[in-house]
């Protein structure tokens, strides 16, 4: 057991490798000092990172250190000024920082590297399981229910919205038509002049939903799916139309049914499945976080599967 230990890090995005290191350090020391380095260029605010670590390790002493150019040699002088301690019993760090020990008198405790931080920062949504739940909660705000016409996504989105008590973002096509005077516009006449005003209103909804710190929201259809479908249909839209990429998408496989809905009959059943394959391929090729729900005819089964997926994102 060490009397006083030290952990240094940027924690640009707190991941499970950090958690393993901090767990080891907090259990091994009577007092643990954690120094968070930050700059104005960091993608996640210093306060956010401080709150994460303070929530998980309330007994640790946490310090913030802003820098322009971080040099290990300078820390020998800066850390004592910051923490009031010029002699530590142990320094805890990842094995890739074997040459970064600061104090000659301290023991260096190296932890095996289990996460590639640069890869997680580059593609956080592809690496959700490598992040602790409180970080996922910040990252995952827009959960879309996506698929081709007639797959039951709107019903599923409404059921999930009711289950979690969260807001639902209307599908782009439906939003455009419902917000057009007289509702007489065809889905094939989406040009720049028409979409500007309506999409600005929809984007305001999206931004307000993202500002809700405690809740995610459900999108009825992924904008990415809409774009693929519209391109296949030859829908014309202006350059001003913004296609938002959801934080996570549940892709719903087409249902083997014979819907009488006009919009659902734009494609034959075979065309729907081919289009769905294209949508899935696009998500995989572009590393967009998603999960597939198969074509179970039972809506209750689809709801249960979707709830398990969403609950798992934050567990």
Number of independent structural domains in the chain: 2
pLDDT higher than threshold 90 for residue 26: yes
DSSP state of 98: T
Q: What pTM, to 2 d.p., does this model score?
A: 0.69
Residues whose CB is less than 8 angstroms from the CB of residue 21 and which lie 6 or more positions away in sequence, other chains included: 7, 92, 93, 94, 111
The Cα 138–Cα 274 span in angstroms is 35
Q: Are residues 103 and 197 in the same domain?
A: no
Same domain membership, residue 79 and residue 159: no
User: What is the chain's length?
Assistant: 315
Mean pLDDT of the chain: 82
Are both 263 and 172 inside the same structural domain?
yes
Residue 7 β-bridge partners: 34, 92
Residue 14 lies in a domain: yes
Percent of the chain with pLDDT over 70: 82
Residue with tokens 């919009």: 263
Q: Are 54 and 23 in contact (CB under 8 A)?
A: no
Query: How much is the pLDDT for 197?
Result: 65
Q: Could you report the per-residue pLDDT of 207-252, keeping only the tens digit for each?
A: 777 776 567 899 998 888 988 888 887 776 667 677 888 889 999 9
Same domain flag for 19 and 111 = yes
CATH number at residue 212: 3.40.50.300
Residues whose CB is less than 8 angstroms from the CB of residue 150 and which lie 6 or more positions away in sequence, other chains included: 254, 255, 257, 259, 261, 263, 264, 265, 272
The rounded distance, in Å, linking the Cα atoms of 109 and 86 is 18
**Same domain for 106 and 154?**
no
In tens, the pLDDT along 121-167 reads: 777 767 878 888 888 877 788 899 999 888 888 899 999 999 988 88
pLDDT tens by residue, 261-280: 444 456 788 888 999 999 99
| 248-252 and 217-220 beta bridge pairing | unpaired
> Do 135 and 315 contact (CB within 8 A), yes or no?
no
Same domain, 93 and 155: no
Same domain, 58 and 171: no
CATH number at residue 16: 3.40.50.620
Regarding whether 295 and 220 lie in a shared domain, the answer is yes
Q: Could you tell me which residues come within 8 angstroms of residue 226 by beta carbon, excluding any fewer than 6 positions away? A: 171, 172, 173, 243
pLDDT for residue 72 is more than 70: no
In a 10 Å sphere around its CB, with 0-12 CB exposed, 13-18 middle and 19+ buried, how is residue 279 labelled?
buried
Last residue of a domain, one of 121, 154, 185: 121
Kindly report which listed range (27-41, 44-58, 78-92, 288-302) carries the lowest average pLDDT score: 288-302
174-211 pLDDT, tens digit each: 666 666 545 444 555 555 666 666 667 777 777 777 77
pLDDT of 306 reads: 92
Residue 17 — very low, low, confident or very high, per pLDDT cuts 50/70/90? very high
Q: Is residue 285 included in any domain, yes or no?
A: yes
């Amino acid at each position: 057991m060490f009397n006083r230990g030290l952990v240094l890090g940027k924690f640009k995005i707190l991941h499970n490798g950090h958690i393993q290191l901090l767990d080891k350090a907090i259990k091994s020391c009577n007092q643990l000092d954690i120094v968070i380095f930050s700059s104005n260029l960091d993608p996640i605010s210093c306060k956010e990172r401080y709150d994460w670590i303070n929530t998980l390790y309330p007994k640790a002493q946490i310090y913030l250190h802003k820098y322009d150019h971080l040099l290990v040699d300078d820390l020998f002088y800066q850390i004592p000024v910051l923490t009031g301690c010029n002699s530590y019993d142990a320094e805890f760090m990842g094995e890739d920082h074997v040459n970064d020990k600061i104090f000659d008198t301290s023991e260096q405790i190296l932890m095996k590297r289990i996460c590639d931080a640069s890869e997680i920062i580059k593609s956080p949504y592809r690496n959700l399981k490598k992040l602790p739940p409180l970080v996922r909660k910040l990252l995952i705000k827009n959960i879309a229910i996506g698929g081709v016409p007639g797959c039951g996504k709107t019903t599923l989105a409404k059921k999930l919205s009711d289950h979690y008590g969260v807001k639902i973002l209307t599908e782009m096509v439906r939003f455009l038509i419902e917000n057009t005077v007289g509702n007489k516009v065809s889905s094939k006449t989406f040009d720049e002049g028409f979409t500007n005003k309506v999409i600005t209103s929809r984007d305001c909804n999206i931004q307000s939903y993202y500002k809700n710190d405690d809740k995610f929201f459900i999108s009825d259809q992924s904008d990415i799916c809409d774009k693929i479908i519209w391109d296949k249909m030859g829908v014309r839209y202006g350059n001003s139309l913004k296609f938002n990429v959801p934080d996570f998408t549940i892709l719903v496989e087409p249902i083997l049914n014979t819907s009488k809905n006009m919009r659902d009959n734009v494609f034959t059943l075979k065309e729907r499945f081919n289009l769905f394959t294209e949508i899935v391929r696009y998500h995989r090729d572009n590393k967009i976080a998603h999960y597939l729900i198969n074509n179970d005819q039972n809506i209750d089964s689809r709801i249960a599967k979707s709830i398990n997926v969403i609950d798992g994102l934050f567990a």
